[in-house]
Amino acid sequence: MKKVEAIIRGNDFDRVKNALKQIGVVPLTAYPVQGRGVQGGVPPYDLLPKMKIEIVVKDEDVEKVIGVIIRNARSGTPGDGKIFVIPVEDAIRIRTGEKGNEALY
């Protein structure tokens, strides 16, 4: 399992969210964040508002999920965002006790 963390523009969030649902990746965590990339914000703002999405996915779905995020969040201009992929040790669905991939979606 991997956690895909994507920091994207707020304007792209609905489109990314809907596209993920269409490929069967429904559960996610999302929250507003502030950050800066290599350009270091836009004067006079040091940090700019973005949306962060966290999704724990099966190893076999990582590339598909990354592709969906990119296709729906890329404008080709600075600030489109960034994706990080992080190994995840385990997942447990509290209601049933299911573990690993079975607990995801």
Ligand X SMILES: Nc1ncnc2c1ncn2[C@@H]1O[C@H](COP(=O)(O)OP(=O)(O)OP(=O)(O)O)[C@@H](O)[C@H]1O
2 lies in the site for ligand X, by CB under 6 A: no
Q: Quick one: which of 15, 64, 72, 79 contacts ligand X (CB under 6 A)?
A: 79
Structure tokens at 35: 């950050």
Residues with Cβ within 8 Å of residue 10, at least 6 apart in sequence: 32, 49, 50, 51
Q: How many other β-carbons are positioned within 10 Å of the β-carbon of residue 68?
A: 21
Q: Quick one: which of 15, 36, 58, 64 contacts ligand X (CB under 6 A)?
A: 36
Nearer to ligand X, 48 or 91 (CB): 48
Dist. CA 40–CA 36, nearest whole Å: 5
CB of 66 to ligand X, least distance (A): 15
**Binding-site partner at residue 2 among Mg ion, ligand X, none, CB < 5 to 8 Å by type:** none
80 lies in the site for ligand X, by CB under 6 A: yes
